[in-house]
Amino acid sequence: MRGSLGGLKLHVSFDAPAEVPDGAGGFGSGWAQRFTCRAEPIYSSGGEVLNASRLQGKAAYKIRIHQSAMAKLIETNWRMRDLRRGAQDGEFPGAQFNIIEVDPISDRRWVCLAVESEAKT
């Protein structure tokens, strides 16, 4: 059944840009984890944004997460990590995705996101 907990197959984390200690007494640019949740991949042909990403060699996906106070804070300068894929070591494990579009208002129950991986080299 679409929209049930059974469809929320991904375990994801959302990180926001933050100033972090650089180890020399100053601060530098980095990331701060804001929250984790379950997500559902949405398989569709995608719009212009997703098709443009594919042409640049990036994997683009549409996902949705349950509407919440934290989900409403997500911005396009944040990133998403799929905690079940990618490298599992380091401070921020998981496959990383740039958030390229956030739709928190089309559906009262869901926040829909367009995300893309980095270009493969």
Using pLDDT thresholds of 50, 70 and 90, give the confidence band for residue 112. very high
HEC readout, 11-70:
EEEEEEEEEEECCCCCEEEEEEEEEEEEEEEECCCCCHHHHHHHHCCCCEEEEEEECCCC
Is residue 12 one of the residues assigned to a domain?
yes
14: tokens are 């959302």
Identify the domain containing residue 73 by its residue range: 5-116
Mean pLDDT calculated for residue range 100-118: 89
68 found inside a domain: yes
121 falls within a domain: no
The secondary structure of residue 72, as a DSSP letter, is: G
Taking all residues of the chain, what is their mean pLDDT, rounded to a whole number?
83
Residue 10 sits in a domain whose CATH number is 2.40.10.270
Q: Is 77 a member of any domain? A: yes
What domain count does the chain have? Answer: 1
Flag whether pLDDT at 67 surpasses 50: yes
